[in-house]
């Protein structure tokens, strides 16, 4: 079993480093990626 | 299992697609989400840009500006991010190569030319800084004193506090005071918050009470964040995501094992990682 998805198989969302900088643009970017990936 | 791996790869592909779409506001039209691009065009207001003005930085040092600084150098990526939000780009910044690859910053670097100063806060290219003849150097309290002394031989230096690094809105407002656009900053932050509210509502509909945890992989070591991504969890100013109840709330980054991750038991994992590492995880059994 995949080590990461063994922890939680429901959703794993991949982002780049700007998603964890804490900035407003980084936060907006995270939101966009999450919304799009969770919609699938 | 194959379904999950497929999901992972599809998300990576999605990120690549977004990379191609992030160039201009028009490129994002037609999507269901708000745009991630420069939202406000800076217009100088005579009233708010009154000079000379004196700014007291985090060291308690008073800096007198006879005129509005127009050639600003940023030695910290967080400052560069803030200047971009204001549509007041620096003439040069550290870590341009790294930042220009970020999805959240691509549209800004495509819109503005910013000279690369190289490395980190203490290893920027001083010769390039001299060459550019800036009228302001913005840095943070994380920069060593002897390095700041070198900067001060080139141009006036305003040092932003560590709190302003963590509380980005505070940092943006401080920079607004320095470059004389306080009112414009208010308007910009207002628009940014409106967008975040839209995102929060969409995510709330999709996630409900599900918990979310943010991870970062570097050199095959996984770290997790809380305080660094406080805006993601902030219910008033940010996305209002739900953190696992046991997740530490202080501002820190901490290494974590995959077994340790299972103790937090998040419903959704958001990870900054190379595609190679994700593929490697596919082969790694626990």
Q: How many domains does chain B have?
A: 2
* Residue that terminates a domain, selected from B190, B225, B249: B190
**Predicted confidence (pLDDT) per residue in A3-38, tens digit:** 455 445 557 888 998 888 888 999 999 999 999 998
CATH number of the domain residue B273 falls in: 3.40.50.1980
B183 and B230, same domain (yes or no): no
Q: Which residue of B lies nearest to A27 if distances are taken between CA atoms?
A: B232
The answer as to whether B278 is a domain residue is: yes
Q: Do B168 and A3 touch (CB under 8 A)?
A: no
B33 and B170, same domain (yes or no): yes
Residue B20: count of CB within 10 angstroms of its CB: 9
The answer as to whether B90 is a domain residue is: yes
Cα B109 to Cα B216: distance, rounded to the nearest angstrom: 24
Residues from chain A contacting residue B164 (CB–CB below 8 Å): none
Picking from A8, A13, A21, the nearest residue to B11 by CB comes out as A13
B186 and B215, same domain (yes or no): no
Are B172 and B189 within 8 A, CB to CB?
Answer: yes
B107 and B249, same domain (yes or no): no
Cα B91 to Cα B75: distance, rounded to the nearest angstrom: 11
B146 and B231, same domain (yes or no): no
B115 and B216, same domain (yes or no): no
What ipTM did this prediction achieve? 0.85
Which residue range is the domain that position B253 belongs to? 2-16+206-283
B161 and B79, same domain (yes or no): yes
Are A1 and B282 within 8 A, CB to CB?
Answer: no
State how far residue A12 is from chain B, nearest Cα, in angstroms: 5
Global pTM value:
0.78
Picking from B102, B266, B282, the nearest residue to A17 by CB comes out as B102
Written as tens digits, the pLDDT of chain B (286 aa) is 333 333 333 333 333 333 333 322 223 222 333 344 443 344 444 456 789 999 999 999 999 999 999 999 999 999 999 999 999 999 999 999 999 999 999 999 999 999 999 976 567 899 999 999 999 999 999 999 999 999 999 999 999 999 888 888 899 999 999 999 999 999 999 999 999 999 999 999 999 999 998 888 887 777 777 666 778 998 888 999 999 888 877 656 677 777 777 788 888 989 888 877 777 665 654 4
Residues from chain A contacting residue B266 (CB–CB below 8 Å): 7-8
Q: φ, ψ for residue B268 (rounded to 5)?
A: -125, 135
Q: Do B269 and A32 touch (CB under 8 A)?
A: no
Neighbour-count burial of B245, counting CB atoms closer than 10 A to its CB (0-12 exposed, 13-18 middle, 19+ buried): exposed
Cα B194 to Cα B191: distance, rounded to the nearest angstrom: 5
Cα B34 to Cα B29: distance, rounded to the nearest angstrom: 9
Q: Which residue of A lies nearest to B232 if distances are taken between CA atoms?
A: A27
Nearest residue to B209 via CA among B231, B180, B242, B256: B242
The answer as to whether B195 is a domain residue is: no
Q: Please report which residue ranges of B208-274 form alpha helices under DSSP H.
A: 230-233, 258-264
B186 and B241, same domain (yes or no): no
């Amino acid at each position: 079993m995949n080590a990461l998805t063994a922890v939680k198989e429901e959703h794993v969302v991949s982002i780049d480093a700007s998603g964890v900088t804490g900035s407003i643009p980084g936060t907006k970017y995270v939101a966009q990626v999450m919304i799009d990936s969770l919609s699938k | 299992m194959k379904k999950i791996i497929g999901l992972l790869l599809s998300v990576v592909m999605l990120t690549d697609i977004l990379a191609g779409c992030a160039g201009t506001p028009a490129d994002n039209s037609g999507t269901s989400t708000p745009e991630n691009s420069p939202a406000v065009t800076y217009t100088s207001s005579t009233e708010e840009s009154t000079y000379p003005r004196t700014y007291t930085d985090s060291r308690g040092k008073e800096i007198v500006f006879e005129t509005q600084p127009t050639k600003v150098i940023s030695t910290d990526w967080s400052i560069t991010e803030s200047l971009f939000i204001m549509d007041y780009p620096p003439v040069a910044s550290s870590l341009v190569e790294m930042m220009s690859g970020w999805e959240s910053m691509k549209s800004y670097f495509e819109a503005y030319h910013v000279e690369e100063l190289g490395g980190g806060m203490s290893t920027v290219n001083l010769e390039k800084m001299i060459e550019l003849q800036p009228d302001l150097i913005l840095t943070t309290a994380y920069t060593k004193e002897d390095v700041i002394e070198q900067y001060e031989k080139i141009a006036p230096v305003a040092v932003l506090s560590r709190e302003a690094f963590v509380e980005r809105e505070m940092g943006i407002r401080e920079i607004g005071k320095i470059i004389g656009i306080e009112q414009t900053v208010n308007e910009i932050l207002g628009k940014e918050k409106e967008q975040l509210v839209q995102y929060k509502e969409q995510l709330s509909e999709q996630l409900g009470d599900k918990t979310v945890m943010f991870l970062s992989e570097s050199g095959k070591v996984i770290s997790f964040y809380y305080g660094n991504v406080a805006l993601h969890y902030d219910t008033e100013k940010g996305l209002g995501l739900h953190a696992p109840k046991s997740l530490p709330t202080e501002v820190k980054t901490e290494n974590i094992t995959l077994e340790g991750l299972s103790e937090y038991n998040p419903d959704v994992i958001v990870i900054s990682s190379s595609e190679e590492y994700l593929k490697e995880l596919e082969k790694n059994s626990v």
